[in-house]
Structure 1
Amino acid sequence: MKGSLKKQEAYHVIHKLPPGDSPYVRAKHVQLVEKDPEAAIAWFWKAINIGDRVDSALKDMAVVMKQQDRAEEAIEAVKAFRDRCSKQAQESLDNVLLDLYKKCGKLDEQIELLKQKLRMIYQGEAFNGKPTKTARSHGKKFQVTIKQETSRILGNLGWAYMQQTNYAAAEVVYRKAQQMDPDANKACNLGLCLIKQAQYPEAQSVLDDVIQGRLSGSDDPKSKNRAEELTKELEPWESAVLSFSGPAGLSLEDTFLEGLDQLMNQQTTPFRSRRLPIFEEISPYRDQLAC
């Protein structure tokens, strides 16, 4: 009997299955062992409907649906059932939604959700009120600070604006992200935004930081190669003296930058942004963000 129990435990460990025989456990078995995604989705639905590990069931079902090119259905499922999930699961569900929006090319939805995540940080609602959270990557756990998370979200927001070819907005967002937690990848994206706006000397300066290894991630060959490729686009203009301030109509994005600066510099008078209202409310977390 003991040998049978040990064998069963080993089986669950090998296949990374939770113990038990509930609908959620059955869904994971069908997903990971039997490799039948459609059947797994059906079992995940059953688990959600009877309240069996709803947090995990909804997230896992959405991931399997995305793999089956059913991202639109997954979006609707997450929206419909997330109110059955715990408060602790909401942040990870937002991340699932972001992946689904990317899969479907829903840029406006991505941008709105990223703004919402920034609002939560500035209102002190992120990380369940803690200054750091534990994240996992490639099986390893590490701590993420509020500043790092804000920079990451700003980087994603900048990328979404780039996909809309709104390089002025992307530039502003990437600049603030780099002020908080600079890295080579965001620097390359900022350099591209500057190139697209004919701000060539400044783009060269930003890309040089990557090429010269001055930023975190500069030792990554992909980032360095990308910076060098972008620099080649500047060669026709190297001999010219260019000092563009950017295309006309940037006043709203300048307003956005000013709003961000007020947040980070702890100014006492709230600033009202006409374009991106995510920074209209200054939260108790601004002191941490300003560090």
Structure 2
Amino acid sequence: MTFNSALSAHLATGATTTCHCWAITRKDGTTLGFTDHDGPLAFDGIAFRADSGLSASALQQGTGLSVDNSDAIGALSDSAISEADVEAGRYDEAEVTAWMVNWSAPNERQVVFRGTIGEITRSGGAFRAELRGLAEILNRPQGRIYQKTCSAVLGNAACGLDLDQAAFRAETTATDIAESRVLTFATLSGYDDGWFTRGRLEVLDGPAVGLSAPIKRDWAEGALRCLELWSPLRADPGLGAMFRLDAGCDKRFQSCREKFGNGLNFQGFPDIPGEDWLMVPPSRSGSASGGSRR
């Protein structure tokens, strides 16, 4: 790591005025700043709060490919990090950047950690968040898998399908919400039963804005349409909230071709033999020459 030359000179004096600052950027674009200094600081367009109660344990960093981890510990409060936002998952996989800063001259600073938030635990009005370094991504499987089903995510670059079409995406409100998991709609005519099964629901406004969940089932009950989610939304969206529903994809070539008209971009191998192919018994023709049967 190459330190900021001005900060290095300051550290060399032996009488330092340094602190740490953290910037947390959530997936919804919200950025929050915190510092362990006794007063607020500001740089890079971010205001770092000193009254948040947030602190971090010593960073574990190495020069190799090992994962760098740390913990962020803080108190839950509505003015800083609220319990409702943590419970709703708004800080899951949020980006974290930490600096060592000369608080008397904030331009003298150095990034000492960059990564994401991992597991979050809550207890007694406080939270502990695992900070995962950039090397964490090396633990994720890479490359393609040879399989019959498609490996792409519907609508991503590999899939190439434009989901922003009325045939594949609907925006509407719910007439009933049970346990934040089963939703009833009155305005989904024109879509076949099961059209949204394996799809995705996203909340567009209200107290749960930005939250999403995969759809487990989609069925009709008379003139109404019901959707069941695999897991409840982590915040109550409330009646009147607008939802976006994306069509579901079962990853089969037939569905890719017939439901989405996207067969040319299918990212699976529909003709690959299944595992049972290895168990096919030998021919009973009596010939053991290895030639083809006629």
TM-score, normalised with respect to structure 1: 0.24
When the two structures are superposed, what TM-score results if normalisation uses the length of structure 2? 0.24
Q: Which protein has greater RCO, CA pairs closer than 8 Å, 6+ apart?
A: 2
User: Is the radius of gyration larger for structure 1 or structure 2?
Assistant: 2
